[in-house]
Amino acid sequence: MVFPTETVYGLGAVFNDENALLKIFAVKGRPSDNPLIVHIWDVKQLSSLVSQVSSKAECLTKAFWPGPLTIIFPKRSLVSGVVTAGLDTVAVRMPSHPVAQALLRLTDVPVAAPSANLSGRPSPTKGSHVVEDLFGKVEYIIDAGPCPAGIESTVIKLEPDPVILRPGSVTKEMLEQALGERVAVANPDNQEHPQAPGMKYRHYAPQAPALLFEGDPEKVVAEINHRLDQGKSSERIVVISSSEHLTRYRNEWVLDLGPLESPEVAASRLYDLLRFCDQLAASQILIEGVKPQGVGLAVANRLRKAAGGCIVRVS
């Protein structure tokens, strides 16, 4: 079953039903070494999944659950290796979306759920996105409209020291304030053995090749216009721009990612815009980078993944 969360739509299966779990991987075309996140509706359900809840983990559950934060715990032996990709840890979160909460309460068992899209594609933030990828492949799709956050949960590992494995809308700054200590961010380019979803493989990618431009905003605009001037008239090049620069591009298709100082807007729009580029049959996508601070760190992470590491840095 596909259900909405505050982050993206999820494709769920009961956490200890291996046949159902294997179907998730088959439907998505998901690599088996990419672990799943287990969703719960009550913190009491942790006891069936994890062998220990540290004081740091307890601090974060009180501060951010329910909400878009996934915590890596040492797992209990009964948690299937299909869920954990053979790791001795399990990723758990408590979603805040009312439909997800109601569904989890009704099932009253933890539910493992990755994003409800074909592996590698932009994550689904609308029911229509799920239909594009999975229609006829799943039995039920609960459509509750757009997902408010529009970007996957933050994933944090706490032992031996706090490290963000995947940035999200619970920011580095928020985590540091809650824990009272420094929180590191994992290097996204060094993830041969992923401990959380979204770390190893190309993700969030549109069909057309994307090129990401990072650096001084004025020079980014100039460089993108230079590329546009060099393009062939037969090409359908799409620019994804900040709101402030929409009218500055010499191009037919310019899409609004949101204001430069509002990365949460960019987070909510990003995947929908990437999918719209596919609908336009774009031949190439040129994207303005965002400042990697606050929620912008998560948006920058997704943009770099979507571009497959094809980044132009201007200064």
Q: CATH top-level class for 210-314? A: alpha beta
pLDDT digits (tens, 9 = 90+) for 236-250: 999 999 999 999 999
Instruction: Find out whether 227 is annotated in a ligand binding site.
Output: no
Indicate the DSSP class of residue 210: E
Instruction: Find out whether 247 is annotated in a ligand binding site.
Output: no
Residue carrying the six token digits 């591009």: 249
Instruction: Find out whether 93 is annotated in a ligand binding site.
Output: yes
| pLDDT band of 295, cuts 50, 70, 90 | very high
Instruction: Find out whether 123 is annotated in a ligand binding site.
Output: yes
Instruction: Find out whether 113 is annotated in a ligand binding site.
Output: yes
Question: What pLDDT is attached to residue 113?
Answer: 98
Q: CA 166 to CA 215: how far, in whole Å?
A: 22
User: Dihedral of CA 298/135/20/95: which sign?
Assistant: positive
pLDDT digits (tens, 9 = 90+) for 2-49: 999 999 999 999 999 999 999 999 999 999 999 999 999 999 999 999
2-185 is a CATH 3.90.870.10 domain: yes
Instruction: Find out whether 107 is annotated in a ligand binding site.
Output: no
SS3 of residue 273 by DSSP: helix
Instruction: Find out whether 34 is annotated in a ligand binding site.
Output: yes
Question: What pLDDT is attached to residue 234?
Answer: 77
CA 158 to chain centre: 20
CATH 3.90.870.10 domain range(s) in the chain = 2-185
Q: How far is the CA of 107 from the CAs of 12, 22, 39, 42, 312, in angstroms?
A: 11, 19, 11, 12, 47
Q: How far is the CA of 204 from the CAs of 5, 20, 152, in angstroms?
A: 17, 24, 11
Instruction: Find out whether 236 is annotated in a ligand binding site.
Output: no
Instruction: Find out whether 115 is annotated in a ligand binding site.
Output: yes
CATH 3.40.50.11030 domain range(s) in the chain = 210-314
Give the neighbor-by-neighbor strand order of the sheet with 89-93: 13-14, 111-112, 37-39, 89-93, 69-74, 154-157, 163-166, 184-185
Instruction: Find out whether 61 is annotated in a ligand binding site.
Output: no
Alpha helices in 29-64, H assignment, sequence order: 55-64
